[in-house]
């Protein structure tokens, strides 16, 4: 892999006595779409502001394109930021907004207006150039903010919850546009959000943050199906969490004993350690087959809810210590409340979690 474009090296930040970021390390690759995902107060926006140069971290360093930018002001970094409220200049036309950065660079009016029009064409707003921001819809303002930031040809584009103010339908549409735009311009995007669906739809790499730390990272598939921590397992959607004790510890495999029996998992843990394992509801099956060869025992159906494209089912395992588990099963599944069912899964569907 090539040299990373942006590096966050052991960064901590305090607001007064509150630790907002605790020893965060992060590498962002050239041309990638990275999403910082976390609940409010997780430190994701603070991290973005530090990358953009709006905050100087209490400790640690920031490298962008090989240079130490820790103390550089925003304008002297190869980054631009798209703010949550768009922060458009209300008294300027759309074209003047987009051209503002070039104007500050001292580029002549004719030239910068031409460049602004090209940029507006890229985001599909070339007909709106003479309007004022307040005459545009939310989605259009969003695109003006993108054009205004991208005209500076940054190496990294920072986006602070850019879709947060849009309604759900428009948000999904803008997600697609954002992804297409990123592929087209090839700039590395770092995008902050608290919406895990948005993160999964956009990201090449998801960084899950909680309490000022990075608690998980990887492709959306990795983070979804093999979360590293309890927090990311729960935050990335519904999950069944089981307590377990490590029975045997191998080189990169462990045997964990749980209420569903002994489970072989990849991962590292010491024998005797108390840990958690997680399995997604859609990975629990009522029939064996398609690799779902691990029999987890019998259970009784407690509740079935029709959800359109699938059925949500909760079941209670039988035994001395019953467990309540969530399943997502096909709509054709006919098991009724009170019926006894068998539970199966693939051994690789379990993920070993750390706190």
Q: Interface with another protein by CB under 8 A: which residues?
A: 52-54, 73-75, 79-81, 83-85, 87-91, 100-101, 104-105, 148-149, 152
Closer CB to another protein, 51 or 214, in the complex? 51
Closest distance to another protein from the beta carbon of 330 (Å): 47
- Categorise residue 247: left if φ over 0, alpha if ψ from -120 to 50, beta otherwise: alpha
Which helix H or strand E contains 104, and what residues bound it?
Answer: helix 94-104
d(CA 100, CA 52): 18
Written in H, E and C, the secondary structure of 190-252 is EEEECCHHHHHHHCCEEEEEECCEEEEEECHHHHHHCCCEHHHHHHCCCCEEEEEEEEEECCC
> Which positions ≥6 away from 18 have C-beta within 8 Å?
none
Closer CB to another protein, 61 or 132, in the complex? 132
Cα angle vertex 277, ends 272, 280, to 5°? 170
314 near 325, Cβ under 8 Å? yes
Closer CB to another protein, 109 or 337, in the complex? 109
Closest distance to another protein from the beta carbon of 288 (Å): 56
Closest distance to another protein from the beta carbon of 43 (Å): 19
Closest distance to another protein from the beta carbon of 57 (Å): 17
Closest distance to another protein from the beta carbon of 104 (Å): 4
Closer CB to another protein, 157 or 256, in the complex? 157
Closest distance to another protein from the beta carbon of 200 (Å): 28
DSSP 6-62: EEEEEEEEEETTEEEEEEEEEEE-TT-EEEEE--TTSSHHHHHHHHHTSS--SEEEE
Closer CB to another protein, 101 or 267, in the complex? 101
Q: How far is CA 148 from CA 83, 119, 129, 331, 351, in A?
A: 11, 8, 12, 47, 43
Closer CB to another protein, 54 or 63, in the complex? 54
d(CA 220, CA 222): 6
Closest distance to another protein from the beta carbon of 166 (Å): 17
Closest distance to another protein from the beta carbon of 142 (Å): 14
Cα angle vertex 146, ends 98, 48, to 5°? 120
d(CA 95, CA 112): 9
Closer CB to another protein, 129 or 278, in the complex? 129
Closer CB to another protein, 67 or 85, in the complex? 85
């Amino acid at each position: 892999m090539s040299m990373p474009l942006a590096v966050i090296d052991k960064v901590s930040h305090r607001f007064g006595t509150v630790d907002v970021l605790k020893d965060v390390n992060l590498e962002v690759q050239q041309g990638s779409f990275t999403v910082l995902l976390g609940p409010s107060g997780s430190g994701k926006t603070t991290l973005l502001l530090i990358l953009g140069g709006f905050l100087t971290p209490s400790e640690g360093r920031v490298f962008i394109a090989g240079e130490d930018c820790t103390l550089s002001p925003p304008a002297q970094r190869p980054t631009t930021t798209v703010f949550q409220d768009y922060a458009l200049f209300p008294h300027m036309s759309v074209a003047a907004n987009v051209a503002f950065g070039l104007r500050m660079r001292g580029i002549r009016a004719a030239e910068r207006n031409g460049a602004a029009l090209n940029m507006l064409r890229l985001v599909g707003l070339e007909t709106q150039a003479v309007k004022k921001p307040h005459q545009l819809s939310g989605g259009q303002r969003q695109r003006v903010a993108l054009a205004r930031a991208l005209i500076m040809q940054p190496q990294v584009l920072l986006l602070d919850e850019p879709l947060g103010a849009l309604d759900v339908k428009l948000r999904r549409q803008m997600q697609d546009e954002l992804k297409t735009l990123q592929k087209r311009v090839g700039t590395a995007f770092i995008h902050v959000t608290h919406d895990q669906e948005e993160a999964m739809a956009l990201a090449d790499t998801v960084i899950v943050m909680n309490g000022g730390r990075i608690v998980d990272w990887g492709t959306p598939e990795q983070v979804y199906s093999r979360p590293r921590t309890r927090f990311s397992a729960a935050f990335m959607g519904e999950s069944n969490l089981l307590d377990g004790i490590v029975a045997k510890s191998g080189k990169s495999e462990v045997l964990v004993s749980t209420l569903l029996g002994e489970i072989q998992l990849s991962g590292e843990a010491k024998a005797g350690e108390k840990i958690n394992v997680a399995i997604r509801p859609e990975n629990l099956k009522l029939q064996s087959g398609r690799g779902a060869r691990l029999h987890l025992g019998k259970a009784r159906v407690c509740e079935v809810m029709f959800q359109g494209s699938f059925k949500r089912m909760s079941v209670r395992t039988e035994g001395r210590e019953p467990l309540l588990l969530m399943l997502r099963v096909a709509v054709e599944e006919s098991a009724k409340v009170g019926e006894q069912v068998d539970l199966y899964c693939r051994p690789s569907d379990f993920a070993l979690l750390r706190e």
